[in-house]
Amino acid sequence: MRTPRFLASLLVFPLLAGCTSSSSMDVLQLQRPSMETTSAISTAPVPPADIASVLAEIDEQPQMASVTDAGSASPQPPVPLAALASAPRPSKAAALLGGISVSPRQFRDAKPIDFGRSSPKNLAVHGVDVSRWQGNIDWQRLRSQGANFAYIKATDGGDHLDPMFKTNWRLAKAAGLRRGAYHFFYWCRVASDQADWFIRNVPRDPDALPPVIDVEYNGQSSCKRRLSPEKVREKMQVFMDRLEKHYGKRPVIYTAPDFYKDNLRGAFLDYPFWLRAVAQHPSKVYPGREWVFWQYSGSGLSHGVTGKIDLNVFHGTEEQWRRWLGVQKMMAKAD
């Protein structure tokens, strides 16, 4: 989700730039005591749900892919074990799972990486993430190239809306992609204000993917604050609680290796993660962390987009993708 250098350079979990503004508002907020308090910060592990029984209730077919090591050549990739910790337990979901087609991956990569047996090519459901920097996208052609889902940049901080968001949001759905919106989090802005800004601009849609909070470092930002890991997690929790209450879906956390190492190791174990790992498999970069989405390239090439695009993959089979979408929809409707 990084912008070009010259410009500033989620399975079934219960449930993706920088502070560019140097306004007096940000300066005043640096001087105010924090009003962002919450008692819901997750620090302890959440017991994994009985995945087999939950999925069996969804479609009355309890067959599950085996959980294997990331480097295994198993034809059915593992499903993260914390996936269903707080998901509703429906009796059936056949109606929710119908009509979801999966197109095979046809992307190319300007800087391909050999991931060996753990290559993202071995996973079934691929997608992209986009922002204004991709310009005018031919979503129909992008879909035909194997983009089954798209996370679309929506907002930054508390006052910036990506100028292409509304267009991309509409056209991605019309082309048949499963779409979601992400917010780039500013560390110099109040978390609740950022959540309200996202909610103001991103419609509620039961079919949408869970919202994403994008947390990472941005060396080009005018915001030079480096908060403690405790404060980082506090601000994130305030933002995520607000979004979950509004959309009925637990937000996905997108992050990069350096930020994760400093702030998120061992935290938010009951949240879905979307991990950036463009040189090694996530199991090597984020040991022990389960994930729903993997951003495996920032140099993808595809018909329908001028220039490069981020490439991503879902951690599961086609059937698990359909089941996950069904549960997400039920969670939103049950709210």
Which residue type occupies 170?
Answer: R
For residue 66, what are its two tokens?
A: 């085996």
Joined together, the tokens standing for residue 156 give 């930054």
Element (H, E) at 184: strand 178-184
* Type and span of the H or E element at 214: strand 212-215
Q: Could you tell me how far CA 242 lies from the centroid of its own chain? A: 17
Among candidate residues 36, 57, 60, 216, the one labeled active-site is 216
Nearest Cα to 137, choosing from 84, 97, 86, 173? Answer: 173
Question: What tokens were used for 211?
Answer: 């919202």
Residue 318 annotated to the active site: no
Strand, coil or helix: 278: coil
Q: How far apart are CA 307 and CA 301, in angstroms?
A: 7
The DSSP output letter for 286 is: S
DSSP string spanning 76-145?
A: S----TTTTTT----S--HHHHTT---PPP--EESS----GGG-GGGSS-EEEEE-GGG-S--HHHHHHT
Taken as a whole, the chain contains a residue count of 335
Active site residues: 216
